[in-house]
Structure 1
């Protein structure tokens, strides 16, 4: 077909597109810029959830449904641009879970990896593959993919933690599996503290070979993390973009604690303001101590107090200011996935 004939028939484009559609074909040139954009375009919006608003709703949930009925009594943190999808960002899930004295959240397992970050209360515990660990505020507890886990409460006051999972990523790959345990709670097969003693003291058993992509330590106590931040803030230069920022470590290989979720803890001295920063990974922040404000480019500054949560979609330019006291912020992101796929990029100003 000569060029003149092609030019003549170009006016019949709409009919041509209908014919393509009937054959399950589509013209790339109509969607190319959206399919391969010049820079990342997350759907999720930066968003804050304030503890003084959310906590009463959690307690109300505790009065309306038991942990056994709900299986997991959780209020999902839904991004306003992703309502109905149970996502806090395009790639991450987060929810706030409440367990009351005497309750047990039944044992199950799933292919989604999970972190538990404890926000309030004592006496709660998680059991993972036959080993129990007691929860304290600020502790980071791992639930590796496809491990049996249940939660319980031996104390007297409500216990609340944030569940952090890779649900959207696993869902996108269509690799989600789930199974219920035959018993409500697992039978203990190892004493509490076993994993920390065996793997978490800077020592490993002679001849140890890891058979998992996830850290064998599954409770990272806040007391130890906080002490490390305190020592470093008084003995090293502070990164202008991140403050004193430490990542939780798999002691067997030096990698992130999980293949899909990258948790960190950072400290900003009182009055410290970070320089503008953005990266491709999406993240969720929780303020542990002090008061802070987060300023996302093009949006009003948001003030954060203790236990407030903030969702930061990927490639959003932001700054953090420690407005009162030393500010300690926990975060988790999908950065391990970006790094392993060679997609991670950051921009510092």
Structure 2
């Protein structure tokens, strides 16, 4: 009677696994722990893009290519832990776009949803689905999926904004489509400010039926946002883990402003530091005003106005304000919530 030794068993197992490969099969038990881990493994690295470093490259790009030729003159921000992926997080894209006075970035549309967060300049506009809106620093602007849009500049100084898109999410579902418009600019059929007047004042047209999951307000002006933020300290102390954290909402249903990208803004009073926190959504931050630093695990990252930094999902972090600090942020939290996947931990 033959007794199987441990070596014999392992050898037979290895041979069995090799036999499965030509049949496009594999043994689940060899991969189960990686497929279903005990907790998420952070994707990418915490990183900061200093605006003082990135801005000169952005301005130099204008000497090399026009907005029309590039279609979108953008320097994308790629997470150093995800090289070659064109991603700032595992599910989000980010890039800094530059448009100069007199330029037009040609009209197109795509199934990816996009946000614009304005960094510097004045006089530029975006035209979305028939309405033009002029943009100022701190404004949050939505470009819903599959809407015609183009950008232009009627001012006299360079205009820079952050583009945030759900490109990796759409790519995962293999749902990416794009189309160029027949002319440089898409038609503008409604007056400037129409959407904000109709939907952004606590009023709603009677009988309104939404045809999209996006907010009908597509420009959230920073002047209004800032006023609301700085009124909050009069009503009570900040949340110890998040500060005064607010989300941009869809006035139709009170939900998130976009269906796949969660957009938030927060105020941390001067000297305030959050308690440790982590969540499953990898988050992109923009320092709007003020300054401070973030501690991600044991790593300190300092930031100043216009800097962009990223914290991978399920990384423990704290935020520290050296002066009154306003941070814009976006992530895939809204999609995770809809799928029942979002989880946070407060220490």
TM-score where L is the length of structure 1:
0.96
What is the aligned partner in structure 1 of residue 232 from structure 2? 232
Q: How far, CA to CA, are the matches of 2:151 and 2:62 in structure 1? A: 15
Q: SS of the counterpart of 1:229?
A: helix
What is the aligned partner in structure 2 of residue 260 from structure 1? 260
Matched, 1:75 2:61: no
Matched, 1:306 2:296: no
CA RMSD of the aligned region, Å? 1.4
* Equivalent residue pairs, number: 345
Q: SS of the counterpart of 2:54?
A: helix
Report the alpha carbon displacement of residue 298 of structure 1 after superposing the two structures with TM: 2.9
Q: SS of the counterpart of 1:64?
A: coil
Change (3 A) 1:6 1:205: farther
What is the aligned partner in structure 1 of residue 63 from structure 2? 63
Report the alpha carbon displacement of residue 17 of structure 1 after superposing the two structures with TM: 1.2
Report the alpha carbon displacement of residue 233 of structure 1 after superposing the two structures with TM: 1.7
- Contact map agreement 1:244 1:268 (CA 8 A) in 2: yes
- Contact map agreement 1:42 1:90 (CA 8 A) in 2: no
What is the aligned partner in structure 2 of residue 341 from structure 1? 339
Report the alpha carbon displacement of residue 332 of structure 1 after superposing the two structures with TM: 0.6
Report the alpha carbon displacement of residue 124 of structure 1 after superposing the two structures with TM: 0.5
Ranges of 4+ aligned residues in structure 1 off by more than 3 Å: 4-11
TM-score where L is the length of structure 2:
0.97
Within a 5 Å distance, the mapping from 1:5-16 to structure 2 comes to 11-16=11-16
What is the aligned partner in structure 2 of residue 330 from structure 1? 328
Report the alpha carbon displacement of residue 106 of structure 1 after superposing the two structures with TM: 0.3
- Contact map agreement 2:43 2:313 (CA 8 A) in 1: no
Q: SS of the counterpart of 1:122?
A: coil
Matched, 1:245 2:242: no
Q: How far, CA to CA, are the matches of 1:46 and 1:155 in structure 2? A: 36
What is the aligned partner in structure 2 of residue 44 from structure 1? 44
What is the aligned partner in structure 2 of residue 213 from structure 1? 213
What is the aligned partner in structure 1 of residue 175 from structure 2? 175
Point out where structure 2 has 5 or more consecutive residues left out of the alignment: none
Within a 5 Å distance, the mapping from 1:264-279 to structure 2 comes to 264-279=264-279
Encode CA deviations 1:212-268: one digit per residue, 9 max, x unaligned: 100000000000000001111222221001111110000000000011001111000
Change (3 A) 1:36 1:186: same
Point out where structure 1 has 5 or more consecutive residues left out of the alignment: none
Matched, 1:201 2:207: no
Q: SS of the counterpart of 1:336?
A: helix
Change (3 A) 1:231 1:9: closer
Encode CA deviations 1:130-173: one digit per residue, 9 max, x unaligned: 10000100000000000000000000000000000000111111
Report the alpha carbon displacement of residue 11 of structure 1 after superposing the two structures with TM: 3.2
- Contact map agreement 1:294 1:320 (CA 8 A) in 2: yes
Bigger mean CA deviation after superposition, 129-138 or 23-32 = 23-32
- Contact map agreement 1:277 1:317 (CA 8 A) in 2: yes
Q: How far, CA to CA, are the matches of 1:187 and 1:35 in structure 2? A: 48
Q: SS of the counterpart of 1:216?
A: coil
Q: How far, CA to CA, are the matches of 1:112 and 1:304 in structure 2? A: 29
What is the aligned partner in structure 2 of residue 316 from structure 1? 315
What is the aligned partner in structure 2 of residue 223 from structure 1? 223
Q: How far, CA to CA, are the matches of 1:248 and 1:96 in structure 2? A: 21
Q: How far, CA to CA, are the matches of 1:246 and 1:109 in structure 2? A: 29
- Contact map agreement 2:115 2:140 (CA 8 A) in 1: yes
Report the alpha carbon displacement of residue 312 of structure 1 after superposing the two structures with TM: 1.1
Report the alpha carbon displacement of residue 22 of structure 1 after superposing the two structures with TM: 1.1
Within a 5 Å distance, the mapping from 1:273-292 to structure 2 comes to 273-292=273-292
- Contact map agreement 1:68 1:104 (CA 8 A) in 2: yes
- Contact map agreement 1:124 1:135 (CA 8 A) in 2: yes
